[in-house]
Structure 1
């Protein structure tokens, strides 16, 4: 997938790419933590995080609200706005010849949002090119998601009872309520949930439910 993204990046005249998941909140976030796969220079990513630019990024703000591709051109920012974080970001990206970018929102089958970002100093992309790259980004991200979820699948298959208990737990049911619904003891319910958590590589039922939802084991 890295080679495929690198080839697409080069074919369309960009310098570097990044596939980044969208954060659910803005607390203690860094670009390096959100990056899934990336060809950005490590020095650029590290400096970006050191400066704490992500929380104040207008690009991130737009990506969190938008589902359509868009362009961003730092060379068009008025001189009067070159203060603080904006000025730092412009100088940083300019030093790597990455002042222009194309941003392509994508998502996986579970609705988790991400973005494919292409950066460089070429002329801004035209609408037809943006649509073409948006389709390519969607297909590439689907494959990346499949590979991620394949790596997360449990090595030992969950039993039908274990899955049922996870589903009911995800619906907010207590162990006592689940035992009544399934006609088994509360002790058995806790046993099923503990076994499911162990098979999923998690430490408790809450984490087990979250992972089961993420990998598509339950809906």
Structure 2
């Protein structure tokens, strides 16, 4: 049985190196996923929430990803999720599997096989893996790696599956913590973050909100502590991911 609570240093990359880090933030989880993607020869990764049948947007289900934004734009523009064999498989299976865009195209029943191949080819991700995972509440998810490298071996697939289970658990934990912190933000803290996201300086925010610079900084610093961020930029990013500002 896999111990997903094990220290990350016990997991090894293909080059024999371990990955150091406490994984206490979403950025830390992303950094490690980036390292894994590079070490195994992929072009990028995505953390995916397995969507319900009524969802038509892949981008909306990918809260953490390095796949190109143009890929998601074209994928969703062509409404490819509806007939996706991958999504259907993720809804019913917990077994990791490889994908090949050309082979999957032949399994589509909606006549969009060529469009799907084009989207993956243009992103240089015709092949890769999907690794089903779940959070402590039982919600289904997956971590996917895509690229143009040869098909992964069984040993590589099992190693990637181990990484996926560990990292998804950590990501779910820190994301839940961030959402709890975001929910505790006051109206004024959110207002300050909205203006910060719009590029306003502290002086400009103070003038707009009819507050002192000291008070504005107080609200921003308090929001930073609540969201467990290291700086204002990260605080704004977390608030945006939590849907508090846009």
Structure with greater Cα Rg: 1
Partner SS, residue 137 of structure 2: coil
Q: How many residues align?
A: 156
Corresponding position of 2:168: 141
Task: Let me know the Cα RMSD of the aligned residues.
Answer: 2.4
Compared CA separation, residues 149 and 127, structure 1 to 2 (3 A): same
Aligned-partner Cα distance in 2 for 1:49–1:155: 29
Aligned-partner Cα distance in 2 for 1:76–1:153: 42
Q: Does 1:53 align with 2:80?
A: yes
Aligned-partner Cα distance in 1 for 2:151–2:182: 46
- Residues 23-44 of structure 1: CA deviation (Å, up to 9, x unaligned): 2x22143011101200011011
Corresponding position of 1:21: 49
Corresponding position of 1:68: 95
**The one of 136, 149, 157 aligned to 1:122:** 149
Compared CA separation, residues 140 and 85, structure 1 to 2 (3 A): same
Compared CA separation, residues 90 and 5, structure 1 to 2 (3 A): same
Aligned-partner Cα distance in 1 for 2:130–2:44: 12
Contact 2:105 2:117 in 1 (8 A): no
Query: TM-score, normalised on structure 2?
Result: 0.59
Deviation at 1:89, TM superposition (A): 0.5
Corresponding position of 2:134: 107
Contact 2:133 2:142 in 1 (8 A): yes
Aligned-partner Cα distance in 2 for 1:125–1:155: 39
Contact 1:81 1:87 in 2 (8 A): no
Query: TM-score, normalised on structure 1?
Result: 0.66
Compared CA separation, residues 154 and 130, structure 1 to 2 (3 A): same
Aligned-partner Cα distance in 1 for 2:38–2:159: 15
Contact 2:106 2:113 in 1 (8 A): no
Give 1:1-219 correspondences, 5 Å limit.
Answer: 1-23=29-51, 25-76=52-103, 84-153=111-180
Q: Which runs of 5+ in 2 are unaligned?
A: 1-28, 185-246
- Residues 129-174 of structure 1: CA deviation (Å, up to 9, x unaligned): 10110000111101100111112337899xxxxxxxxxxxxxxxxx
Deviation at 1:75, TM superposition (A): 3.8
Aligned-partner Cα distance in 1 for 2:131–2:104: 21
